[in-house]
Amino acid sequence: MELSLLVIFWYGILHAFGPDHLTAIADFSIGKNRKRTLLITLLFAVGHGLSLFVFAKVLEHVEISESILAYGDIISASVIIAMGAYLLFMVATDRIQLGRHMHRGEEHIHIWFGKSHSHDDAMAKTSSLTLGLLMGAGGVRGMLVTLGAVQGGTVDFTMVAAFTLGVMVVFACFGVLMLYVNKNFLGSLVNVRRAFSAAGVISLAVGSNILLG
């Protein structure tokens, strides 16, 4: 059993390196501080694991054709494309803002969407969890192949926990990289808009490649 969990943990690590996942993390992490970035990445990983668990349990009892499972990839790609289009729209309509203020003698930079500044991060947290749930549909086939190799296709929560932990490791490391980018390259509104434009274009490219592939 321990070897099976190790295999699934390793699969979670490999799975998390998918360009669609890293693109999604980047889209949500640009301009965020350390606490928000790490929380968003963890919520995305949890949502991803839960989604795969639910889909895998359903597929244990319901036989679904390969063509139907392929729609999971379409869902993932569509989400990425929608995010890219949204970011580009925000840039084009000047709805990405940057503000500075002093707090306890230290300058803080805040980046937000829209015309008015809001510290409410509940929407970003909910969105990252929801995104993880939606994109989990795209990894069902690969996870079932792995489970079939190590456990005869039977899914339990321990396996999903091992997979989610593997995903979290990669997402957390990528989140640290995004924190470095936020701290060192996003000190001006021009750079912020360039970063969101790049993220939007990459999201469209990655999502389109998945659909065309």
The pTM for the full model equals 0.73
Which tens digits make up the pLDDT trace of 161-192?
A: 888 888 888 888 888 888 888 888 887 888 88
H helix or E strand, kind and range, residue 112: strand 106-113
**Cα dihedral sign for 7, 8, 9, 11?**
positive
The list of the chain residues with pLDDT below 70 reads 1, 56, 59-60, 62-70, 72, 100-110, 112-129, 131, 133-155, 213
| Locus of tokens 């795209």 | 138
Among 161, 157, 167, 136, which residue's Cα sits nearest to residue 51?
A: 136
